[in-house]
Amino acid sequence: MRLRVQHATTYTYADPAQSAIQILRLTPRNHDGQYVNFWRVEVDADYRLVRDEDPFGNITHTFSLEGPIATMTIRVEGEVETTNNDGIVAGTAERMPRNFWLRDTQLTRADAAIRMFSRRIAAGEGGEALPYLHALNNAIHSSIEFTPGSSTVATSAAQAFAGKRGVCQDLAQIFVAACRVVKIPARYVGGYFLRTDQVEQDAGHAWAEAYVEGLGWMGFDPAHGLCTTDRYVRVAYGADAADAAPIRGARIGGHDEQLKVEVHVSKRREFIED
């Protein structure tokens, strides 16, 4: 499948910022089942993008701006060819040993409720990893209500689980936290998702990957109760949402920040000449 992605993030300040520095994780890499035909990242300001990689192998771009900055838009446009590998994710940049993905973070630390939830599912599946992961994916999808605006970037898995609501970021972090309880390596993934009901979205998407002996890494999306397919574009990953944040940075000044995000994901039509 050929997927076309357009993503614009606009910052507006009532009081212009004096300066800003940003690190972007907005560029996907090739791997088995994903090939980037073209991809471009632009900022509507006087800037120079410096390309690098973070410790996980995610492609990063860094830039800094001098003010006054009243508004700033970061635009992404690209096309990716994807293949449905039944959730299996292979050929990815792997910079960390597998046991690294068992470590807790502030955002994915399991509390008593998540530990009980995870162990109950594991017991019901006889301790087998793959059935457990499918059952966990379905359980989170059915028990945590997807509620836009119900959390922030600082909301932890434990907080979202206690409130029984969240967005894709929260459901993915609950999945990661639960996996680590039963010693299954797991990580957070950010990217894009082709929806069947609409192409206009107000954010990117997030899911999780877990390691299964004999199969390797597999993608699970508790927000939709699915394993990943050719409808997903994998961009960045890490131990939690902070590691894979599409845009992170700092500024001086710039009070009363307003943020607008527009994401458009569509399937490119193929035209066949007679």
Average pLDDT estimate for 24-45: 96
Query: What stretch(es) of the chain map to CATH 3.10.620.30?
Result: 84-238
Q: Which of 146-160, 161-175, 191-205 has the lowest mean pLDDT?
A: 191-205
pLDDT score at 146: 94
CATH code for residues 84-238: 3.10.620.30
Partners of 31 in beta bridges: 34
d(CA 21, CA 248): 9
Bridging pattern class, strands 145-146 and 165-166: parallel
- Provide CB contacts within 8 A for 15, sequence distance 6+: 253, 254, 255, 256
List, by residue range, all CATH 2.60.40.2250 domains of the chain.
2-81+247-267
Average confidence score pLDDT of the chain: 94
CB 207 within 8 A of CB 219: yes
pLDDT tens track for 94-141: 999 999 999 999 999 999 999 999 999 999 998 899 999 999 999 999
Q: Which of 110, 107, 141, 39 is nearest to 244 (CA)?
A: 107
SS3 category, 2: strand
Q: Helix (H, G, I), strand (E, B), or coil: what is residue 161?
A: helix
User: Average of pLDDT values for 219-229?
Assistant: 97
Give the tokens for residue 99: 């046991």
Question: Which two structure tokens, joined as six digits, stand for 67?
Answer: 């003010």
- 187 Rama sector, left if φ>0, alpha if ψ -120 to 50, beta otherwise: beta
Q: Residue 202: pLDDT above 90?
A: no
C-alpha distances in Å from residue 196, one per residue of 190, 209, 236, 260, 267: 19, 22, 23, 23, 10
Whether the per-residue pLDDT at 197 is higher than 50: the answer is: yes
Q: Please tell me the CATH code under which domain 2-81+247-267 is placed.
A: 2.60.40.2250
Position 93: which residue type?
A: A
DSSP letter string, 172-197: HHHHHHHHHHTT--EEEEEEEE--SS
> Burial level of 266, CB count in 10 A (0-12/13-18/19+)?
middle
The mean pLDDT of 153-167, rounded to a whole number, is: 97
Quote the pTM value. 0.94
The answer, yes or no, to whether residue 227 has pLDDT greater than 80, is yes
Confidence (pLDDT) at 272? 39
For residue 114, the model assigns a pLDDT of 98
Q: Is the pLDDT of residue 232 over 70?
A: yes
Instruction: Identify which of 150-154, 181-185, 193-197, 254-258 has the greatest average pLDDT.
Output: 181-185
